[in-house]
Structure 1
Amino acid sequence: MKPIALSLLLSGLLLAGGAHAADADQVRASHAWIRLLPGALPAGAYVTLENDGDRPVALRGAASTVYAEVMLHRSSREGGMSRMSMVDALEVPAHGKAELAPAGYHLMLTQPKVPVKPGDTVTLTLRFGDGSTLATDFIARPANALDAGDEHADHAMPAMDHGAMPHGH
């Protein structure tokens, strides 16, 4: 096959149905915050994800340069017992939203490489099913916090390497 014919064939295949926006391009993150717990206890990260796209997307996890490990978990209550389990993905429905919140889905953050204190901003890179990512700033809050706080409503940023070390906010 001649190079021009191959190029036209590949272009046609992409136009026929293979081309769509990356999952991260369809998602907006807001109300992103981290609940810090005392000592070496893991922190919990929470965020609201809104999908503006025409198809569902799956949050598969996250990464951090500040925390050694970031895992997607779900808390639940069964028979009066609280349980927590790791999950592979959280679906964000088309034209809908999914919330990571206390007592539900959350990101568990373990082994901070540097001390994180209330008021610090930590960037977590959210990872979606198609491999795309969304770097999102999370504000660190004390253990007794219930939400992100009013002044920190939207912390999503374009995916890029911008030195995700915590800093005062």
Structure 2
Amino acid sequence: MRTVRQSRSPFARLIPGLLALALPCAFASLPAQAADDAAHAQHASGATISVVDPYVRLSPPAAVATGAFMVLRNDSDSPRRLVRAESTAAKTVELHNHIDENGVMKMRAVKDIEIPAKGSATLKPGSYHVMLIDLTAPLKEGERLPITLRFDDGSTQTIAAPVRSIASTMAPMPHGNMQH
């Protein structure tokens, strides 16, 4: 029996090690590249809705529901509609509005929220909002909740809305003419 001895240069011995180091790095960049490609595709396809200042209101630990708020800007020449929202943070997600019914404000689920052409729709407390019902875990201030918004043209946008306390979302009260 004849033994064949392969002559391996130091460089040849380095190749497997270099490949072992390089391949995981190459594959690690794929999700980021896919996200960049998706963002580019959304822009290239004429996505015209932008989401500004999204947040979720911090609810008390025992609460089972809360609201998500944001401004939806429509840069297109046609009105658009938000038709659905989804989130892993709640078992049920609905679009809601507050309605004055005989002097009593009541919250109601709505089919959609219109975003006027070259305009915006403001989702805010006491008005339109995304309702997160049956929360899957207690909320923590500062955490970011994923919310996927679905529009009437079939497009979607997933945002990461930070959880904010009620105090941080309220406008300061004017004290100019108050007498104490």
For 2:100 and 2:167, how far apart are their aligned partners in 1?
20
1:62 aligns with 2:79: no
**In 2, Cα distance between the equivalents of 1:145 and 1:75?**
22
Residue identity opposite 1:109 in structure 2: L
C-alpha distance in 1, partners of 2:159/2:110?
A: 20
Aligned-residue sequence identity (percent) comes to 36
**Map 1:80-159 → 2, pairs under 5 A:** 80-146=103-169
Q: How many angstroms does 1:21 deviate by?
A: 4.4
Q: Secondary structure at the match of 1:144?
A: helix
Deviation, 1:77, is 2.5
CA RMSD of aligned residues (A): 2.0
1:57 and 1:147, CA in 2 relative to 1: closer, same or farther beyond 3 A?
farther
1:48 aligns with 2:60: no
Name the aligned partner's letter for residue 155 of structure 2: S
* Greater strand proportion: 1
Instruction: Tell me the TM-score normalized by structure 2.
Output: 0.65
| 2:52 is equivalent to residue 30 of structure 1 | yes
Contact kept in structure 2, 1:32 and 1:48, CA below 8 Å: yes
Structure with larger RCO (C-alpha < 8 A, sep 6+):
1
Could you list the per-position Cα deviations for residues 57-84 of structure 1 after superposition, in whole angstroms to 9, with x for gaps in the alignment?
1101200122111100001233331111
Change (3 A) 1:41 1:86: same
Count of residues in correspondence between the two structures: 127
TM-score normalized by the length of structure 1: 0.69
Bigger Cα Rg: 2
* 2: CA distance, partners of 1:40 / 1:115: 8
Q: Judge conservation of contact 1:35–1:145 (CA < 8 Å) in 2.
A: no
Query: SS of the residue aligned with 2:139?
Result: coil
> Which structure: greater helix fraction?
2
Structure 1 position 147, deviation (Å): 5.4
